[in-house]
């Protein structure tokens, strides 16, 4: 009953699949999430194919090293999540708490870095609508000279800004939601609600967390590296 407040029914009949409802439900929900990100990524692909000239060379406008570190952090959080799950499977309450706290902190760090990145980019001159008038990037693009070890910036980046902020923004939103739910699970872990026999909440939030990480790896590849 540990996870009842989040996922569980008042009582479960013998599940026909042998897998408890929360886990089945999360897998099904993730199917929906896949379609959501498919819509975003599909639109990105269509827009980029239509106007490749609006995309800056990778690393010109976006800071790849910082985001790479951030990506590494997020992958680490998947590992800590697995560790937390493994801990409770062994009945290690202390380990569960420690690894959950680590996951929450790393997740929060990831979001913070993303917020910093947005602020920095907006300051530099990239907005969802394109260049900010009079900004460094806009001036550099207008001058047509090479920018930061790359070729000249694209003359217009309306679609680039649009897709960058929307895609990373919605991923960030998912991470934030994940962190909030994870914090809730952590709080319950500190109250000793999970046991060797029943730790469904940890497993269910873990599924979501791994999904969000996976999406980020795809987004990082196509938004930052390609």
Partner 1 sequence: MATTAAVVDHATHAHADDRSFIRKYIFSTDHKIIGIQFGLMSLVFLALGGTLAMMIRWQLGFPGKPMPLGSLLPETMAAGGIMLPEFYVALVTMHGTIMVFFAIMPLLMGLFGNFLIPLKIGAPDMAFPRINMASFWIAVSAGVLMMAGFFVEGGHAGAGWTGYAPLSARPDLSGVSLGQELWCLSLIILGLASILGATNYITTVINMRAPGMTWFRLPLSIWALFIASILVLLAIPILSGAAIMLLFDQTIGTNFFNPATGGQPLLWQHLFWYFGHPEVYILILPAMGFVSDVLACGSRKPVFGYHSMIYAIISIGFLGWIVWGHHMFQSGMNPTLGMTFTISTLLIAVPSAIKVFNWMGTMWRGSIHFTTPVLHAVGFVAMFTIGGLSGVFMSSTPVDIYIHDTYFIVAHLHYVLFGGSLFGLFAAITFWYPKMFGRMMNEFWGKVHFWLTMVFYNAVFWPMHDIGVHGHMRRIYDPSQYDFLKPLAPVNTFISISAFLLFATQGIFALNFIISWFKGEKAGRNPWKDTGLEWSTPSPAPHGNFEKTPTVYNAPYEFSVPGMAEDYLPQDQKADQSRAPAGAGH
With beta carbons less than 8 A apart as the criterion, state whether 161 and 128 touch.
yes
- In angstroms, the CA 140 to CA 53 distance is 16
Q: Which of 15, 60, 222 is nearest to 150 (CA)?
A: 60
Residue 198 within binding range of partner 1, rule CB under 8 A:
no
Q: Which residues lie closer than 8 Å to 151 by C-beta, 6 or more apart?
A: 57
Nearer to partner 1, 59 or 128 (CB): 128
Hey, which residues between 91 and 120 contact partner 1 (CB under 8 A)? none
**Residue closer to partner 1 (CB basis): 6 or 98:** 6
Residue in 76, 82, 156, 183 binding partner 1, rule: CB under 8 A: 156
226 binds partner 1 (CB under 8 A): no
CB of 9 to partner 1, least distance (A): 6
> In sequence order, which residues have a C-beta less than 8 Å from that of residue 207 and are 6 or more positions away?
23, 26, 27, 30
Are 210 and 81 spatial neighbours (Cβ–Cβ below 8 Å)? yes
Question: Which residues between 40 and 59 bind partner 1 (CB under 8 A)?
Answer: 40, 42-43, 46-47, 50-51, 54
Question: Which range touches partner 1 (CB under 8 A), out of 8-16, 78-86, 109-117, 138-146?
Answer: 8-16
| Integer Cα distance of 35 and 188 in angstroms | 31
Structure tokens at 218: 């795809």
Choice from 70, 162, 168, 186 touching partner 1 (CB under 8 A)? 162
Contact between 68 and partner 1 (CB under 8 A)?
no
Nearer to partner 1, 21 or 63 (CB): 21
Count, in order, helices (H) and strands (E) of the chain: 6, 2
Question: Which 128-147 residues touch partner 1, going by CB under 8 A?
Answer: 128-130
Report if residue 127 touches partner 1, rule: CB under 8 A: yes
CB 202 within 8 A of CB 208: no
Give the integer Cα–Cα distance in Å for 25 and 32: 11
In the complex with partner 1, the residue whose CB is nearer, 87 or 219, is 219
149 touches partner 1 (CB under 8 A): no
Told to check if 13 binds partner 1 by CB under 8 A, we report: yes
168: buried, middle or exposed (CB in 10 Å: 19+, 13-18, 0-12)?
buried
- For residue 133, give both structure tokens: 């008038």
166 is an interface residue for partner 1 by CB under 8 A:
yes
Which residue ranges make up the site for partner 1 (CB under 8 A)? 5, 7-17, 19-21, 24-25, 28-29, 31-33, 35-36, 38-40, 42-43, 46-47, 50-51, 54, 127-130, 156, 158-159, 161-162, 165-166, 170
């Amino acid at each position: 009953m540990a996870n009842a407040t989040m996922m569980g029914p008042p009582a479960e009949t013998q599940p026909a699949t042998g897998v408890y409802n929360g886990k089945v439900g999360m897998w099904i929900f993730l199917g929906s999430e896949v379609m959501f990100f498919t819509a975003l990524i599909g639109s990105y692909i269509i827009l980029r194919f239509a106007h490749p000239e609006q995309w800056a060379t990778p690393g010109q406008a976006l800071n790849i090293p910082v985001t790479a570190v951030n990506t590494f952090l997020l992958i680490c959080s998947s590992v800590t999540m697995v560790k937390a799950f493994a801990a409770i499977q062994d009945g290690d309450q202390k380990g569960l708490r420690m690894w959950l706290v680590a996951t929450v902190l790393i997740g929060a760090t990831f979001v913070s870095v993303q917020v910093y990145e947005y602020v920095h980019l907006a300051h530099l001159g990239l907005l969802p609508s394109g260049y900010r008038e009079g900004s460094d990037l806009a001036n550099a693009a207008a001058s047509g000279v090479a920018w930061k070890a790359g070729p000249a910036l694209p003359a217009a980046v309306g679609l680039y800004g649009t897709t960058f902020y929307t895609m990373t923004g919605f991923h960030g939103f998912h991470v934030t939601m994940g962190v909030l739910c994870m914090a809730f699970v952590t709080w319950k872990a500190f109250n000793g609600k999970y046991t060797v026999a029943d730790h469904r909440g940890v497993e269910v939030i873990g599924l979501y967390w791994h999904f969000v990480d996976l999406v980020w790896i795809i987004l990082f590849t196509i938004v930052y590296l390609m």
